[in-house]
């Protein structure tokens, strides 16, 4: 076997980690007091931890669970828990096999009661196991155990045989009751009935055990029993209602952290007279990916995360300081285009490729001008000689980027009805000033500042080159607050680099082509992984396809209306119900990200603003950055998101993009009456809508 160093980014799901690995791979966010301050494990206020797939919910929740506390505190776990002032009891809802608790000829009410009882038994065992692991063998427990056990036994209305005197016996009894219940549930469809006797009142053990232990055992005095319920989305509505009821009826010293995907909360209702839990009143919410995305320290956190992975894969017991210094050096591990004046080093390939041939964008411009002259829509131009003059004026052989900037400004002027020869002369002057650093060239400077990335993207596309999604900062930006996305990107980049015979993170920087190949594969994975099941899933994916197509059309149009177009704003109140529903589904699945609001240019109204997930950007060669936002009309939003209106998409998208294309820029073709006595057209009379 050739030297097969395992890819340090192979594992991207926290459920695949052992407790030790959760601890080893833990990285805190370097702001405030880190994740503990955000998660508030000692706060009695229950918390809903919401986040997209891969936002780190499981890693975070397991980190606060008792097995991790024990690893962190080593020999003196009891003192550690006392200092922590909480003990975490972690439960993953997928382990419940929650789908068993329905149908089989039983009523919904019956299942609700059985599920509540089952959870009571399960959580109680988790608490007792945790407690026994923490204080088992201590004199404190030995002294108080018979009394605690006797007290707790009273809460269980079942034949106990010989009365239990130890917590482990009590736990055995609970396990026995659970096994009986398992048998009854599993066989109910065969037998046709569900024979179960509920031996514990809801909440008596879940809240009763911690209360008694807090009173009787000194290590748990002033200690919060924190139930960490993960993968809440795996519970049905009635099952969630039960958990919501526990949250509402919470008793000290207990609290809850409930982890769920963003779409995962089906109800806030409870069995407490059907009252709904309210954010801020019964619980608070931690929106993990939004919080990470908007955190200024996310970049440092992401670099630490990578540094930690590399250190662990090399089996280095690195200190935080060492991880930080490793993290700081990471950017150099990725090859990036050499910084050069007017991106010369990035565009030199074009000079060589088109040596002695007309460059592709000039070919396009020539065609546009010929069409313009033919349609009498090229102000100031009369024949081929004028076209040659323009091409010459806009040419800048040494710097293709400046040529693209010239052409962009020229199209802007064309759309603004300027005499094109004069416009080209002016642009040539501005370019010279800008290039030489002399005179006034503000418009030129701003144009390049805003559109530089789009112009380079157009250059690559014009010359059939792959778009360049390279550099660590790019990958961090692409991950948009979802650490898993970052790890997936690096996993694929690492794999490609290895395949290309490189030694990633161990010698020369990872080549641009390995980065490009890895990013593309990671993006395809994200696109594929996000495929939703069912009819709505198809609608969502189709909508994203349409949105990506629209953005691509804008970005690669002759005169893009917005720079780095990957965001739209819209007045959702005027869109169809289905469009809003599908849009929200896309948001819940992290395919689009809400990025605040934008004031509408005409009405001053604040519209919602959404960015396509940057992980999807390579699918349509879009920008991962967010600058300009396209203000979509309600009709356009409906055409993108509402399946009923999807047939209108093509014509609406074409219409919008035509506004960015010469010679008419979205206006009607001129008729004879539009042409003045001097032979110059006068067609620019319609309203602009960009």
Partner 1 sequence: MGSLAQSLMTKIKTLNEKVWEGRAREPAIMAWLDNFADSSTSGLDERTHALFLLSNFMYFGDREIRELLKALYRDLYRYPIIESIRRTNNDTLDSEIIDPLFKAKLGATRFLGVGNPSESGCHLLYYFRQENSLSRNLFIHTHQIFKRNIGFGLQELREPAITRYIFIDDFCGSGKQGVEYSREIVGEIKRLNAGAIVEYYVLFATTKGMDRVRNETDFDSAKAIYELDSSFKSFSSDSRCFIPPLQENIDRTFCEQMCTSYGKKLVIEARHALGFEDSQLLIGFHHNTPDNTLPIIWFDEPSVVPWTPIFRRYPKSVW
Tell me the window of 1-9, 42-50, 88-96, 534-542 that interacts with partner 1 (CB under 8 A).
1-9
State the nearest-atom distance from the C-beta of 458 to partner 1, in Å.
20
Tell me the window of 164-172, 264-272, 494-502, 561-569 that interacts with partner 1 (CB under 8 A).
494-502
State the nearest-atom distance from the C-beta of 498 to partner 1, in Å.
7
Residue closer to partner 1 by CB (options 270, 498) is: 498
Under rule CB under 8 A, residue 356 binds partner 1: no
Residue closer to partner 1 by CB (options 269, 463) is: 463
Give the total of residues touching partner 1 (CB under 8 A).
12
Under rule CB under 8 A, residue 501 binds partner 1: yes
State the nearest-atom distance from the C-beta of 496 to partner 1, in Å.
7
Under rule CB under 8 A, residue 506 binds partner 1: no
Chosen residue from 489, 493, 517, 622 binding partner 1 by CB under 8 A: 517
State the nearest-atom distance from the C-beta of 501 to partner 1, in Å.
4
Question: What is the length of the chain?
Answer: 690
State the nearest-atom distance from the C-beta of 510 to partner 1, in Å.
14
State the nearest-atom distance from the C-beta of 525 to partner 1, in Å.
12
Chosen residue from 475, 496, 505, 589 binding partner 1 by CB under 8 A: 496
Q: 381: Cβ–Cβ under 8 A, 6 or more apart, which residues?
A: 369, 372, 373, 387, 390, 420, 421
Scan residues 641-680 and list those touching partner 1 (CB under 8 A). Answer: none
State the nearest-atom distance from the C-beta of 222 to partner 1, in Å.
52
d(CA 152, CA 495): 55
Which strand (E) or helix (H) includes residue 91? strand 86-92
Tokens 């064309």 correspond to what residue?
Answer: 414
Tell me the window of 153-161, 493-501, 530-538, 664-672 that interacts with partner 1 (CB under 8 A).
493-501
Residue closer to partner 1 by CB (options 4, 321) is: 4
Chosen residue from 289, 403, 477, 521 binding partner 1 by CB under 8 A: 521
- Name which of 245, 126, 238 is nearest 175 in CA terms: 126
Tokens 């004031």 correspond to what residue?
Answer: 599
d(CA 302, CA 330): 11
State the nearest-atom distance from the C-beta of 461 to partner 1, in Å.
15
Q: Where are the alpha helices (DSSP H) in 603-665?
A: 617-620, 634-641, 649-658
State the nearest-atom distance from the C-beta of 21 to partner 1, in Å.
22
Residue closer to partner 1 by CB (options 72, 500) is: 500
Tell me the window of 41-49, 259-267, 313-321, 490-498 that interacts with partner 1 (CB under 8 A).
490-498
- Name which of 503, 502, 473 is nearest 489 in CA terms: 473
- Name which of 487, 480, 458 is nearest 359 in CA terms: 458
Tell me the window of 224-232, 468-476, 496-504, 650-658 that interacts with partner 1 (CB under 8 A).
496-504
d(CA 63, CA 40): 13
Chosen residue from 500, 503, 655, 689 binding partner 1 by CB under 8 A: 500
Question: What spatial distance separates the first Cα and last Cα of the chain, rounded to whole Å?
Answer: 60
Tell me the window of 251-259, 442-450, 492-500, 672-680 that interacts with partner 1 (CB under 8 A).
492-500
Q: 58: Cβ–Cβ under 8 A, 6 or more apart, which residues?
A: 13, 14, 15, 92, 230, 231, 259
d(CA 591, CA 616): 8
Scan residues 4-63 and list those touching partner 1 (CB under 8 A). Answer: 4
DSSP 542-578: HHHHHHHHHHHHHHTSSS-SSSS--EEEE-GGGS-HH
State the nearest-atom distance from the C-beta of 2 to partner 1, in Å.
4
Under rule CB under 8 A, residue 2 binds partner 1: yes
Under rule CB under 8 A, residue 3 binds partner 1: yes
Q: 31: Cβ–Cβ under 8 A, 6 or more apart, which residues?
A: 295, 296, 297
Residue closer to partner 1 by CB (options 403, 621) is: 621
| Burial class (CB within 10 angstroms; exposed 0-12, middle 13-18, buried 19+) of 184 | middle
State the nearest-atom distance from the C-beta of 495 to partner 1, in Å.
6
Residue closer to partner 1 by CB (options 220, 496) is: 496
In Å, what is the CA distance from 581 to each residue of 588, 605, 673? 10, 21, 48
Residue closer to partner 1 by CB (options 409, 522) is: 522
Neighbours of 552 (CB within 10 A): 18
- Name which of 539, 560, 540 is nearest 550 in CA terms: 560
Q: 671: Cβ–Cβ under 8 A, 6 or more apart, which residues?
A: none
Tell me the window of 214-222, 260-268, 412-420, 495-503 that interacts with partner 1 (CB under 8 A).
495-503
State the nearest-atom distance from the C-beta of 323 to partner 1, in Å.
28
State the nearest-atom distance from the C-beta of 356 to partner 1, in Å.
23
Strand arrangement, sheet containing 567-570? 592-599, 606-612, 567-570, 629-631
Tell me the window of 69-77, 144-152, 499-507, 606-614 that interacts with partner 1 (CB under 8 A).
499-507
d(CA 510, CA 313): 18
Residue closer to partner 1 by CB (options 423, 517) is: 517
Question: Tell me, what DSSP letter sits at residue 482?
Answer: -
Which residues lie near partner 1 (CB under 8 A)?
Answer: 1-4, 495-496, 498-501, 517, 521
């Amino acid at each position: 076997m050739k030297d097969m160093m395992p890819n340090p980014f192979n594992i991207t799901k926290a459920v695949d980690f052992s407790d030790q690995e959760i601890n080893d791979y833990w990285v805190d966010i370097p702001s405030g007091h880190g994740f503990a301050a955000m998660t508030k494990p000692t706060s009695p206020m229950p918390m809903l931890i919401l986040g997209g797939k891969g936002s780190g919910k499981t890693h975070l929740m397991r980190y606060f669970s008792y097995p991790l506390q024990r690893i962190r505190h080593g020999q003196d776990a009891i003192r550690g828990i006392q200092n922590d002032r909480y003990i975490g009891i972690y439960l993953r809802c997928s382990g419940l096999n929650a789908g068993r608790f329905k149908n089989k000829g039983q009523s919904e009410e019956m299942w609700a009661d059985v599920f509540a009882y089952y959870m009571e038994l399960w959580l109680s065992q988790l608490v007792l196991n945790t407690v026994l692991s923490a204080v088992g063998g201590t004199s404190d427990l030995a002294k108080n155990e018979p009394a605690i056990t006797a007290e707790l036994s009273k809460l269980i209305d079942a034949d106990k045989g010989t009365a239990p005197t130890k917590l482990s016996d009590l736990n055995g009894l609970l396990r026995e009751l659970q096994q009986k219940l398992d048998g009854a549930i599993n066989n109910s469809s065969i037998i046709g009935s569900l024979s179960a006797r509920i031996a514990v009142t809801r909440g008596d053990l879940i809240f009763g055990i911690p209360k008694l232990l807090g009173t009787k055992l000194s290590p748990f005095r002033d200690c919060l029993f924190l139930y960490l319920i993960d993968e809440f989305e795996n519970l049905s509505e009635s099952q969630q209602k039960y958990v919501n009821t526990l949250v509402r009826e919470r008793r000290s010293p207990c609290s809850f952290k409930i982890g769920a995907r963003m779409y995962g909360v089906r109800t806030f209702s409870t069995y407490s007279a059907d009252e709904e839990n309210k954010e801020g009143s019964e619980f608070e919410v931690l929106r993990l990916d939004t919080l990470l995305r908007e955190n200024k320290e996310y970049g440092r956190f992401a670099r630490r995360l990578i540094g930690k992975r590399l250190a662990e894969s090399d089996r280095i017991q690195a200190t935080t300081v060492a991880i930080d210094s490793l993290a700081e050096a990471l950017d150099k591990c990725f090859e990036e285009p050499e910084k050069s004046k007017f991106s010369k080093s990035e565009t030199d390939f074009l000079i060589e490729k088109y040596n002695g041939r007309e460059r592709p964008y000039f070919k396009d411009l020539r065609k546009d001008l010929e069409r313009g002259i033919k349609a009498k829509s090229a102000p100031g131009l009369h024949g081929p000689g004028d076209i040659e003059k323009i091409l010459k004026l806009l040419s800048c052989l040494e710097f293709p980027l400046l040529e693209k900037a010239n052409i962009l400004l020229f199209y802007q002027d064309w759309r603004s009805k300027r005499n094109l020869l004069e416009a080209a002369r002016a642009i040539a002057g501005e370019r010279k000033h800008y290039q030489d650093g002399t005179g006034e060239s503000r418009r030129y400077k701003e144009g390049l500042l805003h559109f530089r990335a789009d112009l380079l993207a157009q250059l690559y596309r014009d010359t059939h080159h792959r778009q360049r999604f390279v550099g660590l900062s790019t990958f961090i930006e692409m991950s948009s607050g979802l650490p898993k996305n970052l790890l997936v990107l690096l996993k694929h980049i690492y794999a490609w680099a290895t395949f290309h015979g490189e030694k990633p993170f161990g010698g020369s920087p990872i080549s641009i082509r390995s980065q490009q190949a890895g990013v593309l594969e990671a993006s395809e994975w994200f696109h594929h992984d996000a495929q939703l099941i069912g009819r709505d899933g198809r609608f969502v994916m189709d909508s994203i396809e349409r949105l990506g197509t629209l953005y691509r059309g804008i970005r690669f149009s002759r005169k893009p209306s917005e720079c780095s177009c990957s965001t739209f704003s819209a007045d959702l109140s005027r869109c169809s119900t289905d469009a809003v529903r599908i849009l929200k589904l896309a948001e819940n699945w992290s395919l689009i990200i809400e990025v605040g609001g934008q004031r509408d240019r005409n009405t001053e109204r604040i519209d919602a603003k959404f960015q396509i997930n940057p992980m999807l950007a390579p699918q349509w060669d879009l920008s991962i950055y967010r600058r300009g936002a396209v203000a979509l009309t309600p009709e356009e939003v409906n055409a993108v998101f509402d399946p009923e209106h999807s047939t209108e998409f093509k014509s609406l998208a074409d219409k919008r993009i035509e506004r960015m294309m010469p010679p008419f820029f979205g206006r009607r073709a001129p008729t004879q009456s539009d042409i003045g006595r001097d032979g110059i057209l006068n067609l620019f009379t319609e309203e602009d809508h960009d």
